[in-house]
Amino acid sequence: MDRLSNQTLDRLGQPVPGYDRAALRPGILHFGVGNFFRAHQAAYLDRLMNMGLAQDFAIIGAGVMPGDARMRDTLAAQDYLYTLVEQSAERSDARVLGPIVDYIAPGDPARVVATLADPAIRIVALTITEGGYFIDAATGHFDRAHPAIAADAASPDAPRTVFGLIVAGLKARRAAGHAPFTVMCCDNIPHNGKVTCEAVAGTARLSDPELADWILANVAFPNAMVDRITPATSDRERRMVREDFGIADDAPVFCEDFIQWVLEDNFPAGRPPLEKAGVEFVVDVTPWELMKIRILNGGHAVIAYPAGLLDIHFVHEAMQDAQVRAFLEKIEADEIIPAVPPVPGTDLGAYFAKVAERCANPKIGDTVRRLCLDGSNRQPKFIVPTIAHRLERGLPVDGLALESALWCRYCAGTTDSGAVIEPNDPDWDKLVQVAQAARTDPAAWLDMAEIYGATGRDPRFAEPFARWLAMLWDRGTRATLDAYLKG
């Protein structure tokens, strides 16, 4: 079987790009070419290109982290083509996508800056994970003192972070008299455009305050809500693409058939006609953002930690577990959905029902471990704000306190069966130490100000957290879930 490439496209039995890839012209530089980006933003671009549109908005990828080199080399070997497999519970459909035309390997900042300076690049997009924005959880703002940011400030002409590179690119465009590009964040962060603006301008201010002021006055940072469940690719997925679809692809992407992108229309330098591919443009993305982050992302955390402690491997298996599913449904109905403001044209109950349906899709193969990943970055964004919202209104947080206790118990490093949990967070060693101390002193966990801020000191949250954590250690996850579900 031939490797996927431009030369083998005409021999595939699956849908392939219906456009001339050689005629595409770059218009977007994207940091963070991972599975989600390739299943989401790149998929929208491919759809447009197959309509004969957006031919001047092809994508150049840019790697910053050392681990990006492997993805770059893999995609380069197959002419930046890859297979997208969209899966419902009933069927799987594969198609080959081709909107990526180049990928700058990590370790070449000069080339990244030169590309950013090119006036043909009108959008700079990011999917660098929730933890990539140097947010100080205690303040909720950009951490200018972070060593990586301080290093870029000391050597602004040799940047190493995404934000230092963007600043250098904007500086070069300004010097050349070119209009700035739009910076489009597509990560799951509340007010992600605003957060990105603060990081870019904050990085610039450390070395060039005048440039920072120019960025704030001239560069657009639209907020966005993005959604598509996209698990990691393993040998299992590569084998399935070969056996089920006849494609030798070393970098396929599997995802659900659901996709959503709600975006503020703020692109002074121009943009593709994404509305023709299904993107919803709105004046203020905040209602959709809160709905998704609290109901879907918060719901993922609710599923993750009890399932992880019960040694459940796949998310759809967790949804088949009567206790885990009932826990999700109760905490969503009682505490999470009531904390979500109205969303135009959307029934929140129906939205959650769709979320539950998506999580139960057995074709996706999404893992509980992936949902448990990086809680130190996800909990302050997806769970703690809902707790704070309810406490501000004098409402109980019993279920969310249990979710927090489950995360703490998970971070102690073993499941209920005694199986060792492999490191699953950038701060894993610290979390394990604190979680084990919290077994006898629950306040040790809630004292992590970078996670909980002032919320951890509120007795209306701290008391049920301590009670649930003690029960988890004494009686186990099953008995604790049963106690919660029985009220």
Looking at the DSSP bridge assignments, the partners of residue 184 are 125
> For residue 58, what are its two tokens?
């092809």
Residues 35/68, Cβ–Cβ less than 8 Å: no
Q: What is the pLDDT of residue 22?
A: 97
Q: How far apart are CA 25 and CA 410, in angstroms?
A: 48
> For residue 200, what are its two tokens?
């870019």
Residues 99/45, Cβ–Cβ less than 8 Å: yes
Higher pLDDT, 1 or 379: 379
Q: Between the CA of residue 359 and those of 303, 365, 426, what are the distances in Å?
A: 9, 10, 25
Q: Which helix (H) or strand (E) holds 398?
A: helix 398-411
127-131, 147-151, 172-176, 212-216: the lowest-pLDDT one:
127-131
Neighbouring C-alpha atoms within 13 Å toward the C-beta of 410: 31
Residues 99/46, Cβ–Cβ less than 8 Å: yes
Q: How far apart are CA 404 and CA 466, in angstroms?
A: 10
Q: How do residues 315-335 score in pLDDT, each as one tens digit?
A: 999 999 999 999 999 999 999
Residues 14/94, Cβ–Cβ less than 8 Å: yes
15-24, 26-35, 362-371, 432-441: the lowest-pLDDT one:
362-371
Mean pLDDT of the chain: 96
Q: What is the pLDDT of residue 374?
A: 94
Of the candidates 340, 307, 336, the residue with the CA atom closest to the CA atom of residue 225: 340
One-letter amino acid for residue 224 of the chain: A
Q: What share of the chain in percent tops pLDDT 70?
A: 100
How far is CA 163 from its chain centroid? Answer: 18
- Give domain 286-485's CATH superfamily: N-(1-d-carboxylethyl)-l-norvaline Dehydrogenase; domain 2 (1.10.1040.10)
Residue in the block written with tokens 């139960």: 360
Q: How far apart are CA 3 and CA 31, in angstroms?
A: 26
How far is CA 53 from its chain centroid? Answer: 27
Calculate mean pLDDT across residues 235-243. 95
Q: How far apart are CA 165 and CA 129, in angstroms?
A: 17
Give Rg (Cα) of the chain. Answer: 23
Strands 224-227 and 260-264: antiparallel
Q: What is the pLDDT of residue 137?
A: 67
Domains 6-282 and 286-485 share a fold: no
Helices (H), 192-295: 192-207, 209-218, 235-245, 286-291
DSSP per-residue string spanning 274-289: GGGGTPEEES--HHHH
Contacts of 70 (CB under 8 A, 6+ apart): none
One-letter amino acid for residue 53 of the chain: L
pLDDT at 153 over 70: yes
Q: Which helix (H) or strand (E) holds 106?
A: none
Q: What is the pLDDT of residue 140?
A: 80
Q: How far apart are CA 136 and CA 142, in angstroms?
A: 6
The CATH classification of domain 6-282, taken from the options 3.90.1150.10, 2.40.128.630, 3.40.50.2300, 3.40.50.720: 3.40.50.720
Give me the helix-helix angle, 298-309 and 348-359, nearest 10°. Answer: 40
Q: How far apart are CA 131 and CA 234, in angstroms?
A: 23
Q: How do residues 453-481 score in pLDDT, each as one tens digit?
A: 999 999 999 999 999 999 999 999 999 99
pLDDT class of 413 with cuts at 50, 70, 90? very high
> For residue 426, what are its two tokens?
């950038």
Q: Between the CA of residue 441 and those of 251, 434, 447, 466, what are the distances in Å?
A: 46, 9, 10, 8
Q: How far apart are CA 253 and CA 250, in angstroms?
A: 10
Q: Which helix (H) or strand (E) holds 221?
A: none
Q: Provide the residue ranges of all domains of the chain, joining segments of one domain with +.
A: 6-282, 286-485
Q: What share of the chain in percent tops pLDDT 90?
A: 93
SS3 42: helix
pLDDT at 1 over 80: no
Q: How do residues 330-359 score in pLDDT, each as one tens digit?
A: 999 999 999 999 999 999 999 999 999 999
Indicate the length of the chain as a whole number.
487
Residue in the block written with tokens 């998506």: 358
Q: How do residues 90-111 score in pLDDT, each as one tens digit?
A: 899 999 999 999 999 999 999 9
Q: What is the pLDDT of residue 40?
A: 98
What are the phi and psi torsion angles at 286 (to 5°)? -55, -45
Q: Between the CA of residue 301 and those of 19, 404, 426, what are the distances in Å?
A: 41, 9, 17
